[in-house]
Amino acid sequence: MNLFIFGNPMSGSQSGQLQINQIVEACTKCSIHFKLFQTQRAGELPDLLEKHLSERNEHTKVVIIGGDGTLNEALHYLKQNKIEVPLSYLPAGTGNDFAREMNLTHDADVFVQNLKNAPSIELEFLTYHEQNSGTSGIALNSVGFGIDAAICELNQKQRQAVLESNGIKKASYLTPILKAFREREEFEAVITIDNNESFTVTHNLLVGAFNHSFFGGGIRFVPTAKQGNHSFEVVVARKVSGFTIVKAFPFILTNGSHFKHFPNHLQKYQCTVARIQINGPIKSQTDGEFTKYGNVDIKIQLDSYPFILTRQN
């Protein structure tokens, strides 16, 4: 076995560099041959994959080190170019919702020890195409519109400020959440589930598609959404006040029964294909990465790709 390691040292407020250092040490200790390719700037990972994947042989395993956004970037490139190379993943992000859902190890020594015999599975993810902009992409965790995207935008700005201050202070999730809620803008959406009749939802705080239960760095927001279910869930949060959040939060953090207790504010729809239409500019997030659309007409469905899962012991 030999490894091609593609690492993002800046992920997770530079915890990516720590994980890279630790896997290099683990490989050296176990006499495992490896090649290390590190990104130096945002968006460089596809270039590294294109340049170096052709150098691999049948004994090579491909390792991605970074956050959910880094893994998304790698998978998007491979699917877009019809390249099938089973991926393994050592988490080094801030939220790490994908790793949490799949119970993946964060320990570089355990990762290297388990990699040789770890199972390969067809991992399900979301693929989407937005008609107006012609944008296509994938999501391992979720695609969302509304307050989750606003939080991601503020987190992104906060992380950049931390980096520019040489990491002297640590970014906190709480400040962006509170700011995003204070500045929230409700919106209307038209939703079509599995090509059935469309319906309109109004006064929305959030409309999103979820591939598994975790959201926002460890919150089990959609307990019934599970990786490998051969379906995903479209979730709508509407007419949500601060008082509603205060009442719902204990259920979210404990038994996950918030959808049952707040049916007028939280709805979910299980499906294999969904279409979401939104008139007017809207903030969006994909696996925690922020973007912005004008009018939205997006189709979301399931796809799969082989992964080598290095779970915690």
What are 230-277's pLDDT values in tens digits? Answer: 999 999 999 998 888 888 888 887 888 999 999 999 999 999 999 999
Using DSSP, state whether 292 is helix, strand or coil.
strand
Contact 146, 207 (CB under 8 A): yes
Tell me the torsion sign for CA atoms 93, 20, 122, 133.
Answer: positive
Q: Which residues pair with 206 in a beta bridge?
A: 146, 237
* Residue 10 pLDDT level (bands cut at 50, 70, 90): confident
Render 79-98 in DSSP notation, one character per residue.
HHTT----EEEEE-SSS-HH
State yes or no: pLDDT of 215 exceeds 60. Answer: yes
Q: Are strands 2-7 and 60-66 parallel, antiparallel or unpaired?
A: parallel
State yes or no: pLDDT of 188 exceeds 90. Answer: yes
Contact 274, 193 (CB under 8 A): yes
Reported as half-sphere exposure (CB side, CA atoms, 13 A), residue 131 has a value of 11
pLDDT at 94: 76
What does pLDDT average to over the chain? 90
% of the chain residues with pLDDT over 90: 70
Q: How far is CA 186 from CA 79, 202, 204, in A?
A: 34, 8, 5
Q: How far is CA 36 from CA 48, 152, 160, 258, in A?
A: 10, 30, 25, 45
Q: How far is 120 from 23, CA to CA, in rounded Å? A: 20
* Residue 23 pLDDT level (bands cut at 50, 70, 90): very high
State yes or no: pLDDT of 158 exceeds 90. Answer: no
Q: Spell out the domains of the chain, with CATH numbers in brackets.
A: 2-118 (3.40.50.10330), 127-304 (2.60.200.40)
Tell me the torsion sign for CA atoms 167, 290, 47, 32.
Answer: positive
Question: Mean pLDDT across the stretch 103-118?
Answer: 94
CA 83-234-298 angle, to 5 degrees, is: 60
Question: Mean pLDDT across the stretch 135-161?
Answer: 83
Q: How far is 103 from 157, CA to CA, in rounded Å? A: 29
pLDDT at 166: 53
